[in-house]
Amino acid sequence: MKYHPEPIDTSGITLPEELSEILEVLSENMHEIWAKARIEDGWSHGPRRSDKQLHSQLLVPYEDLPESEKKYDRAIVENLLKTLFKLGFDIVGKDPGKNSHGA
């Protein structure tokens, strides 16, 4: 079987400037989710990636990641946000009266 990926075309979507802060917050959270899963699977920080030793040089706080890795996380989150817009969803700001978890 030959696989032909067909992602939703978001090339015509431009994210509003006011989403730049949330894009960074979501990118950092994406890294945190990835890192937590790796640590739970027995991975630890090492000088370079080793699948055999379960080491990754990327098991560091987001702010310590190389810019290339941050760009990777941002690109995924940006694509997700653009896909939501393409599918007709709106993103609205949080209610100042609510805490950060919406409770």
Assigned domain for 5 exists: no
Q: Is the pLDDT assigned to residue 103 strictly greater than 50?
A: no
Stated pTM of the model: 0.83
Give the C-alpha distances (Å, rounded to integers) separating 53 from 33, 34, 48, 56, 85.
Answer: 21, 18, 10, 9, 41
Assigned domain for 100 exists: no
pLDDT on residue 100: 54
Tell me, what CATH number does 51's domain have? 1.10.490.160
pLDDT digits (tens, 9 = 90+) for 66-95: 999 999 999 999 999 999 999 999 988 776
Which residue segment(s) compose the domain that 64 sits in?
A: 17-86
Task: Please tell me the chain's helix, strand, coil percentages from 3-state DSSP, rounded to the nearest 5.
Answer: 45, 5, 50
pLDDT on residue 32: 98
Assigned domain for 62 exists: yes
Assigned domain for 4 exists: no
Give the C-alpha distances (Å, rounded to integers) separating 19 from 2, 16, 56, 62, 103.
Answer: 37, 6, 30, 19, 22
What's the number of domains the chain is made of?
1
